[in-house]
Amino acid sequence: MATILSLYDALIQPFVEYGFMRRALVASLAISLGSAPIGVLLMLRRMSLMGDAMSHAILPGAAIAFLLVGSLSPLAMGVGGLVAGLAVALLSGVVSRTTPLREDASFASFYLGSLALGVLIVSLRGSNIDLLHVLFGTILAVDPAALFLIGGIASITLATLAVIYRPLVVECFDPGFLRAVGESGAAYHFLFLFLVVINLVAGFQALGTLMAVGMMMLPAAIAQLWARRLPSMIVIAVSSAALSGYLGLIASFHMRLASGPAIILIASIIYVASLLAGPFGALRRVFARPHLAG
Residues that bind another protein (CB under 8 A): 44, 163-164, 166-167, 169-170, 172-177, 179-183, 227-230, 233
| Residue number with CB closer to another protein (229 or 285) | 229
Q: What is the rounded CA–CA span in Å between residue 288 and residue 194?
A: 42
Distance CA 77, CA 69 (A): 9
CB of 79 or CB of 169, closer to another protein: 169
Residue 185 burial (CB < 10 Å; 0-12/13-18/19+)?
middle
User: Residue 4 or 180: which CB sits closer to another protein?
Assistant: 180
Other Cβ atoms closer than 10 A to 94: 11
Residue 163: CB minimum distance to another protein, A: 6
Task: State the nearest-atom distance from the C-beta of 39 to another protein, in Å.
Answer: 14
Minimum gap (Å) between residue 234 Cβ and another protein: 10
Contact 134, 59 (CB under 8 A): yes
Q: Which is nearer to another protein, 73 or 96 (CB)?
A: 96
Residue 92, number of CB atoms within 10 A of its CB: 26
Least distance (Å) between residue 111 CB and another protein: 25
CA distance 226 to 237: 10
Write down how long the chain is. Answer: 294
Q: Is 46 exposed, middle or buried (0-12, 13-18, 19+ CB in 10 A)?
A: exposed
**Closer to another protein at the Cβ: 155 or 232?**
232
Interhelix angle 48-57/19-44, rounded to 10 degrees, is: 130
To the nearest whole angstrom, how small is the minimum distance from the Cβ of residue 191 to another protein?
12
H or E element in which residue 263 lies? helix 259-277
CB-wise, 44 or 135, nearer to another protein?
44
CB of 270 to another protein, least distance (A): 20
